Structure 1
Amino acid sequence: MSIDSIKTMLETLCYYKDVEVTHTFSKDEQPLLKISYVKNTDTLKVAFIQNEAIEYYENVEEAACIIGKRID
């Protein structure tokens, strides 16, 4: 998946910020991470499934780069 496709997906997620939506990204049918919008904060929450780490990003570009690196 290209970085531009990921950015578009994240921008759509931010657009619907009043709705609780979570995207799960997988590789070889194994879920790697989940991303959601944190209401009232303009922040994207990235939850890494394998190590249960959570990171927050206020920038769509930065979040898309992290996701792209993980799923490639």
Structure 2
Amino acid sequence: MEDIKIGSSLSFGGYNWRVLDMQNNTALIITEDIIDQRAYHDAYKEITWAECALRKYLNGEFYEKFNATHIFR
């Protein structure tokens, strides 16, 4: 991770990322572009974060785009 600096960009998971901060060999990053625009849930009803469709997507399909080959150490 020595070559990753604050302000630099990197690509993984099919997205371009900008490094915002580095602490303890860990990078805080944000995407360069909007990744996706999704609703909180797929039905208009009272629902918690634990049960919403957005959380299911983030912890499932979105998360799976990043695998061990993309982790920087």
Q: Assess same fold via TM > 0.5.
A: no
Q: Which has the higher contact order (CA 8 A, sep 6+)?
A: 1
Name the structure with the higher strand share. Answer: 1
Name the structure with the higher helix share. Answer: 1
TM-score with structure 2 setting the length = 0.28
TM-score with structure 1 setting the length = 0.28
